[in-house]
Chains A and B, each alone.
Chain A
């Protein structure tokens, strides 16, 4: 008993650890979170997979054993009690009970009394003493005792069912060296049989990811930092994957049209499954668990944000990589994901206003030395502060939040305007013309040397071209005394803005078809565009990937489960509920009526093993009922 409670407490504490420490994450993220030292300790204790850990399973086994012991030890006596009427009892002990009443019953009729008790759900037996005193023994609510057996048996059955579905078998095979977790990402054909579980494995939960049109006959069981391959008794193909959305863009339902072909009989079955509507085929239940990208094809335009070079097109596919040699360096683009719908809460006003902002895709750009930044780029411009921007996030490690580069959309809601702007401000000629105009129109005072002014302005703008506002700030820090820095900075920003705006105005004048710049506030666009250009120096790469169009391919995530323990768990659960009802709501009562041969009185005693408040009331009630027998008689 004490042992069982200790074990239960252990289960409780282990479970709490398991909930606080997020389970089954990639191992690298644990290393980053806890450091190598704690990671080693935690992983030795299997704290990242508490519920599959050997020690946890051993505790469960002990728990079952000790509960079984408890039940087997107590059950015989409980069952004996259950059947037994306690008729070997003396008057003296009857009188010692709390609920003992002496009732005067002049016209005592045994049969009346028995029928009264039976009417109150008592089981009655009478016993003649040697002294020919009459002793009536009655009891009710014996089921309460069985409740003990039921509940404890239920716990054993449930835990045993759970263990049956646990990975005890796999653990043993691992310990014996028969099976082993595969840590590397290998093609299916190269995975050795040591990492494979055969199709008559009696219990498993495996995942299958299928792109539309794809077919598989194995599942993957993720395990610790690796995985195992589970052979299936059939092949499963995805004909079609359907996802429906609410008008607000959240997913409403997803369903897969599957084609299942038995390996044994060759029989084929087409079946639609969806969340909450699984299907069982050859003893394996197939669930819709999630969905992913299945290798969406992307048409991309690559642009260098910091040079006048022309954009170039690139065809890409999600989960594939493209290599590019640019400025004598080789880069690899790793496309990790694509999402058709993105519900974001971007409106900064108080009310919750989640909106679909359209597709985005994520990718990494890896340089020659293997370092990579992660990018998340949205295809369509988003409305921020009343203006539209193309947004792309960058981060160096997965722990960081994305930092966003925001490029203003042109009047056609496209990116072309910004790209033209970029080319204009990187063009020496246009800049010079613009500087001349700006200085002509603003330089009123004669004692300023116009040429000097031109020179310094063009130098300032060069600095901006080379590194954005940050570069200018560095120059200010170096060359200008502290107290004048702030005013210098704001003057510089103003000048750059003036020049850039002039560049745009010139462009509009010279190009009749400047349809990208039909903007209400051109100066605001200039400001946003300058900011974007300046921010691009913090973007990790000058290369921006614009998603032109795409062909969406989806993949359906299925879970395939064989769970023989389920039946036992459910059976145990039913038993558990019955048991708890018996223990709590069935009140065991024992009752004796002793009538001495020569006495006009009878002795009535009631006992119960659980003293609830209501029992006092109940005892009195029975007493009064018996009392009233005499009146009737």
Chain B
């Protein structure tokens, strides 16, 4: 058994390395030094993730297979989507993302079913659905990346540049963080709560896509053409995702505190601990993302801090969670107050993430309604 695990690990890391080498040899003309560095560190990063989390390996391999399959079918021709059955209904980025948007609501329903009936089967089914949805969503983003290059070589860019794309990113990152904790704490009961926030995001995504045609790939404005985007945006979304989970777990905490669903949900201590852990991980990533954002701003806008609405709201989010952690770690505070606070924190985060784009204008105006 142990041999098998290590063989799998070797295969995974070896595969990653070979792919990275291939990319380096094939595309180094299109990359600057920083992008090469990002590619190499992503090999280490994903190796480490795969090494310490078995399911992540399988997830990673499958999204790559799907993406490669799609690229293989595309054969460099974007128009083929209309004629090809597989692309049209499964493996074009838009279809993959639509499948994701269909499977998350389904898994929410099954998670609620599982919450009350507690059977292993329903729990496993729900988790598997989340895994599949996440896999399709990620593959969808990867395929979209390729599609953007098919539109035109100068339009091509990593698909995390507008509200539509980052909403997909938000869904899959939140789901991944949740799946990780689901394994760690050994209960699938919390899915009923976490999937709510993911599905809210899916709802927005669908509305945004259908009502506003936001899924169309747009070229990048000059300020966004930087390797920094590949670091700054994902780091930020790990933060947002983790804060969202913390808020949903806090909701479960308050439900249990009221004496409701106590038979079905984990104990308060477990919920409290998970809230803390997700806020902690979110806080670290959010801090790093904000700092990296400042470094990028210094390069693109001529100042590391311009009091742009997005920056300012990021500061407010940061101060909010800094205060939360301060109270918990230094003052040893626990309980209802912190749970409420983390829920309110989600609203502040949501405003930073979305509200700033909708209601305020500034330098971060990459996605307006």
Contacts and interface: CB of A to CB of B under 8 A. Distances in A.
- Among B213, B295, B302, B320, the most chain A Cβ lie within 10 Å of the Cβ of B302
Contacts of B1: none
A612 B273 contact: yes
- Residue from B219, B280, B312 having most chain A Cβ neighbours under 10 A: B312
Contacts of A570: 295, 304
Interface residues of B, number: 49
Interface in B328-354: 329-330
A421 to B, nearest CB: 39
A278 B304 contact: no
Nearest to A11: B319
Contact of B304 (A350, A566, A584): A566
B303 A276 contact: no
Interface stretch (A306-314, A538-546, A575-583, A618-626): A575-583
A247 B356 CA distance: 30
A573 B294 contact: yes
Contacts of A581: 284
A251 to B, nearest CB: 6
Given A15-B316, A276-B225, A563 B283 contact: no
A292 to B, nearest CB: 15
B226 A276 contact: yes
Nearest to A287: B302
A627 interface: no
B295 to A, nearest CB: 7
A82 to B, nearest CB: 16
B37 interface: no
A276 B301 CA distance: 8
B222 A251 contact: yes
Interface in B13-39: none
| Most B C-beta atoms less than 10 A away, residue of A22, A23, A275, A576 | A275
A569 B303 contact: no
Interface string A554-578: 0000010101001001100100110
B302 A285 contact: yes
A241 to B, nearest CB: 13
B270 A613 contact: yes
A406 interface: no
B269 A613 contact: yes
Contact of A583 (B212, B213, B323, B329): B329
Contacts of A205: 302-303
Interface string B288-310: 10010011001111111101010
A5 B316 CA distance: 13
B287 A576 contact: yes
Interface in A2-27: 5, 8, 11-12, 15-16, 18-20, 22-23
A352 interface: yes
Contacts of A51: 307
B322 to A, nearest CB: 9
A321 B363 CA distance: 32
B287 A577 contact: yes
A51 B362 CA distance: 15
A584 B269 CA distance: 18
Nearest to A572: B291
Given A610-B329, A612-B276, A584 B294 contact: no
Contacts of A351: 213
A614 B300 CA distance: 44
Interface string A238-274: 0000000011101111100000000000000000001
A569 B304 contact: yes
B222 A278 contact: no
A289 interface: yes
Contacts of A337: none
B213 A246 contact: no
Interface in A521-562: 559, 561
Nearest to A288: B222
A20 B360 contact: yes
Contacts of A253: 222, 225
A19 B83 CA distance: 49
A499 B221 CA distance: 52
B319 A563 contact: no
Contact of B152 (A22, A246, A559, A577): A246
A162 interface: yes
Contact of A252 (B154, B291, B304, B360): B154
Nearest to B152: A247
B315 A275 contact: no
B117 interface: no
B313 interface: yes
Interface in A599-633: 610, 612-614
Nearest to A613: B273
Interface string A279-322: 00000010101000000000000000000000000000000000
A363 B221 CA distance: 28
B301 A566 contact: no
B33 to A, nearest CB: 13
A246 B155 contact: yes
Interface in A51-100: 51
Nearest to A20: B360
Interface string A34-57: 000000000000000011000000
A352 B291 contact: no
Interface in B62-97: none
A274 B356 contact: no
Contacts of B152: 246-247
B257 interface: no
B212 to A, nearest CB: 8
A569 B294 contact: yes
B309 to A, nearest CB: 4
B221 A251 contact: yes
16 contacts: A12-B315, A12-B316, A12-B319, A19-B309, A19-B312, A19-B356, A22-B360, A246-B155, A247-B152, A250-B219, A252-B219, A289-B302, A559-B301, A583-B329, A584-B329, A585-B280
